[in-house]
Amino acid sequence: MLFFDIPATKAGSTQTILMYGHRDKQPEFNGWRSDLGPWTPKYENGKLYGRGGADDGYAVYASVAAVQALKAQGKPHPRIVGLIETCEESGSYDLLPYVDALRDRLGDVSLVICLDSGAGNYDQLWLTTSLRGMASGTLKVQILTEGVHSGDASGLVPSSFRIMRQVLDRLEDSKTGRLLPASFHCEIPSDRLEQAKATAAIPGDEVYKRFPWAHYDCGGSTAFALPTTTDPVEALVNRTGRRRCP
């Protein structure tokens, strides 16, 4: 855990801004350009290339750059602290113990800035206002107490896979992916919908085209996997405001 504490320059301020990020990395994967690589950083046309530059190695630099920008403009700021963890890619299982240990040093936190999100392009600053979470669990279906020969049991013993499908059908419409319980849904504020329209107008079709869709050779013609929608606004709202199973 990297913790930093920047004193307030705003007179009379008693509140604290918390900047959060992480510096552990995903595997380097492949697809690097011939003159680039994950282990040798390279600075080119104002951009730094290397492993973890996006997720989430920029967090510390973004924090420092933001504070320096305020100072360069002579803008006062409240106290700023930072928590940069090293376990996010493994589930952040040690983050809460660190928060507990640093509780007295964190102070009165009034704003949390999470430095770990995406961007629509590199031409402007982006702010994430809605980010999907995850609820996970373990589903187990048990019909027999031990394994038996399928030729003896099939047609008589109910299929555990079929029962599991029926259970999942209570939660999700398998045709559309819509979650059925009303408690999974909320009304999206009108101002957020207007923001989504303005945001989707910038990347346009790239909202869905940027994904590596599979394609198949079907006897001389090519078939492609398709997204749930090709409307940029609907695609953006589906990713952020609506609750769906992946």
pTM, whole model, 2 decimals? 0.72
Which helix (H) or strand (E) segment holds residue 113: the answer is: strand 109-114
> What does the pLDDT profile of the chain (246 residues) look like in tens digits?
999 999 999 998 899 999 999 999 888 888 899 999 999 999 999 888 888 877 888 899 889 999 999 999 999 999 999 999 999 999 999 999 999 999 999 999 999 999 988 888 888 888 888 777 777 889 999 999 999 998 999 999 999 999 999 999 999 999 888 889 988 888 888 998 999 999 999 999 999 999 989 988 888 788 888 898 999 999 988 888 675 433
Phi–psi pair at 109, nearest 5 degrees: -80, 120
Check residue 55 and give its pLDDT.
85
3-state DSSP assignment of residue 48:
strand
Check residue 65 and give its pLDDT.
92
Q: Which two tokens stand for residue 70?
A: 């305020």
Which helix (H) or strand (E) segment holds residue 110: the answer is: strand 109-114
Give the residue from 103, 71, 101 showing the smallest Cα distance to 6.
71
Q: Which two tokens stand for residue 234?
A: 């609907």
Residue ranges per domain, the chain? 2-114, 150-240
Q: What's the topology of domain 2-114?
A: Aminopeptidase (3.40.630)
Check residue 103 and give its pLDDT.
94
